[in-house]
Amino acid sequence: MSRYNDKPWLASYPAGVPHTVSYRAGEKPMHQYLLDNAAEAPEQTAYIFYGHAITWGEVGDSVRRLAAYLKRHGVVKGDRIGIFLQNCPQYIIAHYAIQMVGAIVTPLNPQFKEAEVEYQLGNAEAKAVIVGCELYPIVARVRDRLPGLEFVISTAYSDYLPDEPTLPLPQELAAPHEKPADCEDLVAILRRVEPLAETVPVDLWHDIGLMTFTSGTTGRPKGAMLSYGSSLFKTAASFLANRIETGNTTLAVAPFCHIAGMNSGIYMPVYTRSTVVILTRFDPETVIQAFEKYRCTMWYSIAPMNVAILNYPGVDQRDLRSLRQNMVTSFGIQVTEELAEAWKRLTGCQMHEAAYGLSETHTSDTFMPKERIKWGSCGLPMPGNEIRILDLTTNEPLGPNQSGQIVVRNPAVFKGYWKRPDATEETLKDGWVHTGDVGYLDEDGYLYFTGRIKEMIKCSGYSVFPEDVEALMQNHPAVLQSAAIGVPDEKRGESVKLFVVLRPEYRGKVSEQELIDWARQNMAAYKYPRHIEFRDSLPTTSAGKVLRRLLKEEDAAKA
């Protein structure tokens, strides 16, 4: 126990990484950082959207005007306002305008369908929603069933596109969309409403600025309530730990609605006063062109994106060598030393695992020092962050290299689930978030994630974690991606079934049985997959995380 109280990871910090968090321009909400950028660097380019450049001064003015509109229409501190948009400049404006009036940002995934939109807006009791024109028909079909939804603001992406885009446009941007007649148009608001002069005062560490919906450890999605200070703390901690420079040119591809994409695309560039090249979705050619044209220096990516670029025809003749910092999340594909070496040969940049985290902690709970990488680990706890490992049965703290539940405590952890005190009590205990994740800390304080308690597979009495099987299977040269689930087994209780996406050059040349035989030789007898099914792709979230739950549901339905 004393080992944990002593924070052993601090001894592993590289020179220059502080043990505590300080703030680059003071302890104030992130929307104030944006308004300061607008006042102090009004002509500096803040965002580039397929060639349309927007300055900090323009963004700050738009934020103030939308904030004035929201306040005029009765939005007060604590109101929930939905954002249902693809990545775009309007998303930035909406996010900070909502927070400028003390209200709560409630992001909706642009992949949501009707039932999901109705559930989240209804559960959050949202007063308003800001929506893309192409997504508005979904809102329109549920609007009458949401009595608390007082008004809707729509926006067309074309309003922020240049006449001649400099990068290939995805279909949802290129296709024309009519502006809904029963909504207020965002651009019209920004043209006629006078800017709000003063922000609504907020208590940085107690008032809620963000409510992101997450399944948490169990059940249907719940609104995790995060304070205004949560985003400031995690942005500052990541800035210090990763030794990020100010004035970067950041490529933002990860969805803004997702907590990791929000931290990297919405908060960090404002904190560092950096330029952001915004893309609505990942496409290898578009990303490569963005690097070549705008000389992007920083990118938060998901490992399958890096793999797609490495496999892109002719990529070795393209120029991605402006990249200086690439933090990567291992969703679906592990960030291995082999992958990192291939990426470094192409770009000259040392990729590394981005961070361990979850919505309830505003993510970014760990960082990986580039000069002290441990492959397969999630890195070291961030400055100001504490991580413990608890025994799955007794909840007693465990020592180095002992596996148990990961629990996290820092000033950014959520205040609870919206109107779910029962779920809050289950997850948040004495300031510690009980993550439902299983892992261990090694003797140097590096965190290793080994699985989810609820996704754990029980084979002949042994605990098997899907991530462990997937990571081992990644050593087979034919396997591009895999996902493991448990299936019923009369003798063993459960057995592992593995869904595999083969590398293109191996398709039709390797059989399921060959992979099973290989796994038998390379994994413990209780662990290796007894069943393998080839897939062309695996179901994922918009952030690239493999949805094992859907695979399990599909398999159960077939059975």
Q: What is the pLDDT of residue 84?
A: 98
Query: Is the predicted pLDDT of residue 170 greater than 70, yes or no?
Result: yes
Does the structure show a pLDDT above 90 at 294?
A: yes
CB distance 227 to 205 below 8 Å: yes
Name the residue among 258, 276, 275, 283 with its Cα closest to residue 110.
258
How many CA atoms within 13 Å lie on the side-chain side of 454? 10
Helix (H, G, I), strand (E, B) or coil at 432: strand
Q: What are the tokens at 18? A: 């502080």
Beta pairing, strands 380-381 & 184-185: unpaired
pLDDT at residue 522 in the model: 86
Per-residue pLDDT tens digits for 477-530: 999 999 999 999 887 888 999 999 999 999 999 999 999 999 999 887 888 999
Angle of CA points 317, 322, 325, to nearest 5°: 120
pLDDT for 361 beyond 70? yes
Place of tokens 């959050």: 124
How is the chain split into domains, by residue range?
457-558
Confidence check: pLDDT of 217 > 90 = no
CATH class of segment(s) 457-558: alpha beta
Q: Which of 109, 129, 134, 359 is CA-nearest to residue 255?
A: 109
Q: Which residue has the higher pLDDT, 51 or 178?
A: 51
* pLDDT, averaged across the chain: 93
Token duo for residue 203 = 């208590």
CA distance linking residue 349 with residue 191, whole number of Å? 43
Helix, strand or coil, per DSSP, at residue 365: coil
- Biggest CA–CA distance in the chain, Å, is 71
Residue 170 to residue 245: CA distance in whole angstroms: 31
> What three-state secondary structure class fits 480?
strand
Q: What DSSP designation does 265 have?
A: I
pLDDT at 145: 95
Q: Which pLDDT value is given to residue 172?
A: 83
Distance between CA atoms of 233 and 422, rounded to whole angstroms?
A: 27
Q: Model confidence over 129-169: pLDDT tens digits?
A: 999 999 999 999 999 999 999 999 999 999 999 999 999 99
For residue 137, what pLDDT is reported? 96
Task: Quickly state the pLDDT bin for 105 (edges 50, 70, 90).
Answer: very high
Q: Percentage of residues in the chain with pLDDT exceeding 90?
A: 82
Report the alpha-carbon distance of residue 326 to residue 331 in Å, rounded: 15
CA atoms of 353 and 377, how far apart (whole Å)? 8
* Helices (H), ranges, 20-155: 30-40, 56-72, 89-100, 114-124, 136-142
> 264 with 367: CB under 8 angstroms?
no
Question: 337-347 and 303-310 are packed helices; what angle lies between their axes, rounded to 10 degrees?
Answer: 50
List Cα–Cα distances, 389 to 46, 231, 351, 400, 408, in angstroms. Answer: 41, 25, 27, 9, 9
322 pLDDT more than 50: yes
The pLDDT value recorded for residue 452 is 80
Nearest by Cα to 445 from 508, 381, 493, 496:
381
Q: Give Cα 203 to chain centroid, integer Å.
A: 25
- Per-residue model confidence (pLDDT) at position 542: 63
Q: Cα(75)–Cα(65) distance, rounded to whole angstroms?
A: 14
